[in-house]
Amino acid sequence: MDDLPLTTSPDTQRKNRVPPGQRLTEKWPVLHYGAMPSFDPARWKFTISGLVETERVLSDTDLTSLPQVQVFSDIHCVTTWSRLNNLWQGVSTQQIRQLVQIRPEAEFVIVHAAGRFTTNLTLDDFFQPDVLLAWKHDGQLISPEHGYPLRLVVPRLYFWKSAKWVTGIEFTAQDRPGFWESNGYHNHGDPWKEERYSR
């Protein structure tokens, strides 16, 4: 495990690591809309759909057999808490990219999660080298409340883009605001620009 490649998210190298309007916490709060979705992890699948030449459906074993990475990152939640020094383990989105042929019209990724949650990203934001689909945090399996069996981690954007209980990704030509983005949150969510709310 120690010999996995490590990617350091560039924001952890800033002299001041705390974005404007944020405060540090040591704890890791649990935040999501509604009840925790109940689903059977044994029957869980990860689907790659939309503007790809051939759709792919991966089982848990398929996913965990792919080459893995570790990512060191800071968490910035729009509700103003930040948690520094997180070590994630999983599969990078750059690795996921090797599994499909993405059509040239594709410009966005819609991330789907259990309970019909979605969040939207540009291809560029989704394929940054520090973005991964994770199942471990600080050496332990991610707990169910924090997104087990699979959560997306997008270190450079507010944490609402880091969908928990991910069930798939869909490539699209048009942007499609996700759950929080349709409910007042900014469409992009850069914490360094304080892209918190859309109005």
Ligand X SMILES: Nc1nc2c(c(=O)[nH]1)N[C@H]1C(S)=C(S)[C@@H](COP(=O)(O)O)O[C@H]1N2
Residues that bind ligand X (CB under 6 A): 28-33, 77, 113, 117, 146-147, 159-160, 162-165, 180
User: Min. distance of Cβ 185 from Mo ion in angstroms?
Assistant: 8
160 binds Mo ion (CB under 5 A): yes
User: Min. distance of Cβ 113 from ligand X in angstroms?
Assistant: 4
CA distances from 149 to 14, 146, 170 (A): 31, 9, 19
Closest C-alpha among 133, 15, 27, 137 to residue 86: 137
Closest C-alpha among 151, 43, 161, 167 to residue 114: 167
Is the CA virtual torsion 178, 184, 185, 186 positive or negative?
A: positive
- Read off the tokens for 2: 């120690």
Cβ proximity to ligand X, 46 vs 160, nearer residue: 160
Residue 36 binding result from ligand X, Mo ion, none, given CB thresholds of 5 to 8 Å by partner type: none
The residue number whose beta carbon is nearest to Mo ion equals 160
Residue 5 binding result from Mo ion, ligand X, none, given CB thresholds of 5 to 8 Å by partner type: none
